[in-house]
Chains A and B, each alone.
Chain A
């Protein structure tokens, strides 16, 4: 008897003389590359369909109906979107979301880059400090935001107490009780939480840059700033772009931080699109209107992703 040959990729399995090799139908089926590809894709596609595509399609459907909790609702076309456009609270929330996302991303990028450059150097306890730096990113947002809320508390703020005791202020600073202050406080907390993500990703990018390039630039007389601007920054740009896009998506759809820190107040000064969509869809039971408002995030985020993909494609071409 000739030894049987089985297995994908040419792996040979020899059967002992006198034995019949049993190859199941499934194994034979999976030897077909197309079938194998489908089998490998199915779990991923199923997860995406159930958890991403289905809710997304439902959200689009809801946004086109006047559905509220417990009632089926009827098709109303773009009425919910028109209502949102005329809604001054939504207009405020949309502007707040853009402002919050822009400034939080700028600060996270600047601080993350600075931190990454520092952590890319050799110093004692380097690994330990790198691990500690990730703490703000690891702690659940709700818990860390509660801690910040206490620090910004209108009555018992530890920051106010320290400033008052050291003679810097004579009256309490209105951290969360003034609309503008509250928005900047939210940006500070978001920056604090998001900077480690930037730092660790950019650090990974920095470590892929060949040190010879820096040495060569230094030999040519480039100072630290020139080395950063002409060597580090161009090579780090693709990673930076990816991390900025991720951050914009996360920040634009932020909910927990504002919900815990300010509840959208004072006087709606810190309402974001996500918190307002929750207020309408869940607290008021207006699922159609809530879905329409949350879908306003979609074109903005699509645009951001489109820019990123376009840039990366151009980079690949270059």
Chain B
């Protein structure tokens, strides 16, 4: 779809409902003159995106909305500590970006943003189900989803071809066989099973789901101790030994990027940051044949288990805080930022690393520019469930996620610390304490 057509279609509803008056009048509304809105966000892995916030959004917001936007960025890992202290002291940023299901944790301290979410859903083709379950508490939107960073496997095409594999494996069993050959050729698969917030749970949860394992049932009764989960842990234990770089037990979310870019591993579940770094690095990253590394990278979803392909993508959401004295201005800013023509500026520089939260962004012409990034376009559709499945991704699910229970379940078995059955029983015991 052409940009003009896309914006016309996606933006019509929001502008009509929300900021039509402002845009028509070419002046800021009286209420917001000189109001400061302080937003706390993560240091984006795509630095150009932070530039859009500071160099585009700040001046335009001042002009159009009369809001002095103060953008503060910090490490994503440090956001919970800042949010906790801000909520407990009743003082801090007006808008806080939180990851995954943190909206459920902070629901009592968040302003209802259902009006914005419904406008965006109506005008931009509908918000993805996963974004809905992560941000809606008791039927109310307590946070406004901003983006999804899909986790797909980045792999070296030529290395796979060397062992006779022209297409990325479709099933876990096939991936196991391919991995064995790759490791034998000293090109193992790289995957973290460490205590880290991103790449580890985005791998272990979908692996468990794809075998039919689940943390709890819909009523919150622990269900993890099942033959399906045990089977998935058994598989991973062998897969780990046969196909992986075993140092991955100590990796955080950055190790796989470094290992891949320096030619130590052949594949890794990741956001698109490996490819983006290779693309931006130019001559810095090359294949053994001297070709630019980015020409040898392709992306694919995780393989399918008995229950099909599963995925968990990291969600980024904005919360307007209840303690804020500028709630209306903060909401007006969010509404403005989600207007297709404004959001697009940020969306385009992401080049697919982060996708939109509504389906219409799959139609954007940006996707036609780089075929390597194409799998990211529809990746959010692969995510059918979230942490705490088959229950809601609530506080209890967040506790289990933050304690890395599912990741540790796999890590204990993969490292030989426990047998698969014992490790699953251990996870069941820990989940039972949380859910009872």
- A residues less than 8 Å from B398 (CB atoms): 284-285
Binds B, one of A27-35, A64-72, A111-119, A292-300: A64-72
**In the complex, A177→B395 CA distance in Å?**
30
A155-B247, A177-B248 are contacts. A86–B433 as well, Cβ < 8 Å? yes
Q: Kindly report which residue of chain B lies nearest to residue A289, judged by CB atoms.
A: B399
Closest to A281 in B: B84
Contact B429 A88 (CB under 8 A): yes
Residues of B within 8 Å of A284, CB to CB, are 105, 398-399, 402-403
B109 touches A70 (CB 8 A): yes
Task: Look across to chain B and name the residue whose beta carbon is closest to the beta carbon of A266.
Answer: B249
| Chain B residues, Cβ within 8 Å of A176 | 247, 250
**Chain-A contact segment, one of B11-19, B62-70, B379-387, B411-419:** B411-419
Q: Which one, B80, B81, B250, contacts A265 given CB within 8 A?
A: B250
Docked complex Cα distance between A291 and B426 (Å): 24
Residue of B nearest to A276 (CB): B403
Interface positions, chain A 52-98, Cβ under 8 Å from B, are 68-71, 83, 86-89
| Given known A-B contacts A87-B433, A282-B81, A285-B84, A265 and B402 have beta carbons under 8 A apart | no
B87 on interface, CB distance cutoff 8 Å = yes
Q: Which residues of A contact B395 (CB under 8 A)?
A: 68, 285
Smallest CB separation, B345 vs chain A (Å) = 33
- Min CB distance, B101 to chain A, in Å? 11
User: Cβ of B411 and Cβ of A267 under 8 Å apart?
Assistant: yes
B414, closest chain A residue (CB): A267
Q: How far is the CA of A284 from the CA of B402 in the complex (A)?
A: 6
Q: Is the CB of A69 within 8 A of B83?
A: yes
Residues of A within 8 A of B247 (CB): 154-155, 172, 174, 176-177
Q: Are A178 and B433 in contact (CB under 8 A)?
A: no
Contacting residues, chain B, for A281 (C-beta < 8 A):
84
Is B344's beta carbon under 8 Å from chain A?
no
**Number of chain B residues whose Cβ lies closer than 8 Å to a Cβ of chain A:** 43
Report whether B402 and A155 are in contact in the complex, using a CB–CB cutoff of 8 Å. Answer: no
| B323 nearest in chain A by CB position | A70
With contact pairs A179-B415, A284-B399 given, residues A268 and B408 touching in the complex (Cβ less than 8 Å): yes
Contacting pair B195 A264 (CB below 8 A): yes
With A88-B430, A282-B81, A282-B84 as given contacts, are A69 and B248 in contact (CB-CB < 8 Å)? no
> Given A263-B194, A267-B412, A286-B399, A154–B245 Cβ distance below 8 Å?
yes
Chain A residues in 8 Å Cβ range of B81: 282
Contact between A265 and B430, CB atoms less than 8 A apart: no
Does B108 belong to the interface (CB within 8 Å)? yes
Please report the total number of A residues contacting B with Cβ < 8 Å: 38
A residues near B108, Cβ cutoff 8 Å? 70-71
Known: A156-B258, A267-B249. A179 touches B417 (CB 8 A): yes
**Chain A positions within 8 Å of B403 at CB level:** 89, 279-280, 284
A195 within 8 A of B: no
Q: How far is the CB of A96 from chain B (nearest CB, A)?
A: 13
Determine whether B196 belongs to the interface, using a CB cutoff of 8 Å to chain A: yes
Asked whether A178 lies within 8 Å of B402 as measured between CB atoms, the reply is no
Closest to B401 in A: A284
Contact B106 A285 (CB under 8 A): yes
Secondary structure call for the B interface: helix
Residue A182 CB within 8 A of the other chain: yes
Contacts of B246 in A (CB 8 A): 174, 177
Point out the residues of chain A lying under 8 angstroms from B415, CB to CB.
177-179, 266-267
Across the interface, name the chain B residue whose C-beta is closest to A152. Answer: B250
Complex alpha-carbon distance, A179 and B195, angstroms: 12
For the complex, is A262 an interface residue (Cβ under 8 Å from B)?
yes
Given A68-B395, A89-B403, A265-B250, A285–B105 Cβ distance below 8 Å? yes
| Nearest CB in chain A to that of B108: its residue | A70
A153 within 8 A of B: yes
Contact B250 A182 (CB under 8 A): yes
Q: Which parts of B355-409 form the interface with A (CB within 8 Å)?
A: 395, 398-399, 402-404, 408
Contact of B402 among A87, A175, A279 (CB under 8 A): A279
The minimal Cβ–Cβ distance linking B245 to chain A, given in whole angstroms, is 7
CB pair A266–B250 under 8 Å, yes or no, is: yes
**Pairwise interchain contact A69-B105, C-beta atoms closer than 8 A:** yes
Most buried by B among A68, A268, A284: A284
Q: State A66–B83 Cα separation when bound (angstroms).
A: 19
Q: Which of B83, B105, B195 contacts A263 (CB 8 A)?
A: B195
For A269, the chain B residues whose CB sits under 8 A away are 417
Q: Are A154 and B250 in contact (CB under 8 A)?
A: yes
Residues of B within 8 A of A179 (CB): 415, 417
| Residue in B80, B87, B195, B404 whose CB lies within 8 Å of A262 | B195
B197 nearest in chain A by CB position:
A283
Q: How far is the CA of A87 from the CA of B430 in the complex (A)?
A: 7
CB neighbours (8 Å) of A287 from chain B are 84, 88
Q: Are A266's CB and B193's CB within 8 A? A: yes
Q: Could you tell me if B399 and A155 are in contact, using CB atoms closer than 8 angstroms?
A: no
Contact call B264/A263, Cβ cutoff below 8 A: no
Contacts of B196 in A (CB 8 A): 263, 265
Q: How far is the CA of A282 from the CA of B86 in the complex (A)?
A: 12
B208: min CB distance to chain A, Å? 16
Tell me if B44 is interfacial: C-beta within 8 Å of chain A: no
Which of B109, B247, B259 has the most C-beta atoms of chain A within 10 angstroms of its own C-beta? B247
12 residue pairs of the A-B complex, CB under 8 angstroms, read A69-B87, A69-B105, A70-B106, A154-B251, A155-B258, A156-B258, A263-B194, A265-B196, A265-B404, A265-B411, A283-B402, A284-B398
Q: Which 8 A-B pairs have the closest CB atoms?
A: A154-B247, A176-B250, A70-B109, A265-B195, A266-B249, A177-B250, A267-B411, A177-B249
Chain B residues in the interface with A (C-beta under 8 A): 80-81, 83-84, 87-88, 105-109, 193-196, 245-252, 255, 258-259, 262, 264, 395, 398-399, 402-404, 408, 411-412, 415, 417, 426, 429-430, 433
